[in-house]
């Protein structure tokens, strides 16, 4: 048997402190890349234009729209959702409205009161001063379409005027108000 001497220990290197420009640049590029992915594929900032969704959303507020939830089928579009879609009469424009009827539903409006499948919808998000007294005969919501209304009924252009919204036109769900600061929070 041969005796072997243990290898001498190497002194440990001291950790460098300070800013490394290469690491900083790498981290910056990763952060920019993640931000681009988030904005392009998941959350899109949108400016509310108009008063049709008052009082919940006001003119010039800034919101985030979740584009992922509906796009990949991870979430079904449901009654009460605030959806952002390409306007049926001019797809270059985007609108935001509340889903009232989903495929298979019947929607009717009597003197401003909304009925879905024969039952009155309780709409706490529509204050009395924003209601109108319009009526609409019963309409069936066809497959892959949605009936949408603005919360400020007396100033909203919506499914009552131009009809149903095709599923393919809906590209996001309004989820979060980020401007102005006093309104920061989830969209209701």
State the residue for tokens 């919940």.
56
Residue 34 lies in a domain: no
DSSP label at 51?
S
Residue 97 lies in a domain: yes
Predicted confidence at residue 83, as pLDDT, reads 96
Residue 5 lies in a domain: no
Exactly one of 23, 31, 94, 97 is catalytic; which is it? 97
CB crowding 68-96: b at 16 or more within 10 Å, else e:
ebbeeeeeebeeebbbbbbebeeeeebbb
Residue 98 lies in a domain: yes
Active site residue 31: no
Strand pairing report for 62-66 and 43-47: antiparallel
Predicted confidence at residue 5, as pLDDT, reads 58
Residue 36 lies in a domain: no
Question: What's the CA gap between 43 and 28, in Å, rounded?
Answer: 20
Enumerate helices (H) and strands (E) in the chain, giving the number of each.
Answer: 3, 12
Is the pLDDT at 100 greater than 60? The verdict is: yes
Structural domain total, the chain = 1
Residue 17 lies in a domain: no
The CATH number linked to 103 is 2.10.109.10
Residue 144 corresponds to which tokens in the numbers above? 């892959």
Q: How confident is the model over 52-76, as pLDDT tens digits?
A: 999 999 999 999 999 888 876 567 8
pTM for the whole thing?
Answer: 0.79
- Calculate the CA dihedral of residues 54, 58, 64, 69 and round it to 10 degrees: 10
Residue 33 lies in a domain: no
Question: What's the CA gap between 158 and 114, in Å, rounded?
Answer: 14
User: Of the ranges 35-49, 51-65, 75-89, which one carries the lowest mean pLDDT score?
Assistant: 35-49
Q: Stretch 78-102: mean pLDDT, rounded?
A: 95
Residue 59 lies in a domain: yes
Q: 13: pLDDT confidence band, cut at 50, 70 and 90?
A: low
Domain membership of residue 88 as a residue range: 51-186
Exactly one of 14, 23, 52, 156 is catalytic; which is it? 52
Is the pLDDT at 118 greater than 70? The verdict is: yes
Q: Stretch 144-161: mean pLDDT, rounded?
A: 96
Active site residue 52: yes
Q: Which residues partner with 145 through β-bridges?
A: 166
Q: How confident is the model over 14-36, as pLDDT tens digits?
A: 555 567 888 888 888 888 887 77
Question: What's the CA gap between 159 and 150, in Å, rounded?
Answer: 9
Across the chain, what does the average pLDDT equal?
Answer: 88
Is the pLDDT at 141 greater than 90? The verdict is: yes
Question: What's the CA gap between 51 and 32, in Å, rounded?
Answer: 34
Radius of gyration of the chain (CA): 26
Predicted confidence at residue 57, as pLDDT, reads 94
């Amino acid at each position: 048997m041969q005796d072997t001497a243990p290898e001498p220990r190497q002194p440990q290197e001291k950790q460098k402190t300070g800013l490394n420009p290469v690491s900083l640049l790498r981290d910056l590029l990763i952060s920019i890349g993640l931000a681009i992915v988030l904005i392009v594929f998941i959350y899109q900032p949108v400016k509310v234009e108009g008063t049709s969704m008052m009082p919940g959303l006001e003119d010039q507020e800034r919101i985030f729209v979740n584009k992922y939830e509906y796009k990949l089928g991870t979430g079904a579009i449901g009654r009460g959702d605030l959806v952002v879609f390409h306007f049926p009469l001019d797809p270059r424009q985007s609108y935001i409205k509340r889903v009232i009827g989903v495929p298979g539903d019947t929607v009717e409006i009597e003197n401003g009161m909304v009925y879905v499948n024969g039952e009155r919808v309780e709409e706490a998000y529509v204050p009395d001063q924003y209601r109108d007294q319009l009526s609409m005969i019963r309409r069936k919501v066809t497959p892959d379409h949605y009936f949408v209304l603005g919360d400020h009924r007396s100033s909203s252009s919506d499914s009552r005027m131009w009809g149903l919204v095709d599923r393919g036109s809906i590209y996001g769900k309004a989820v979060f108000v980020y401007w102005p600061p006093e309104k920061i929070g989830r969209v209701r």
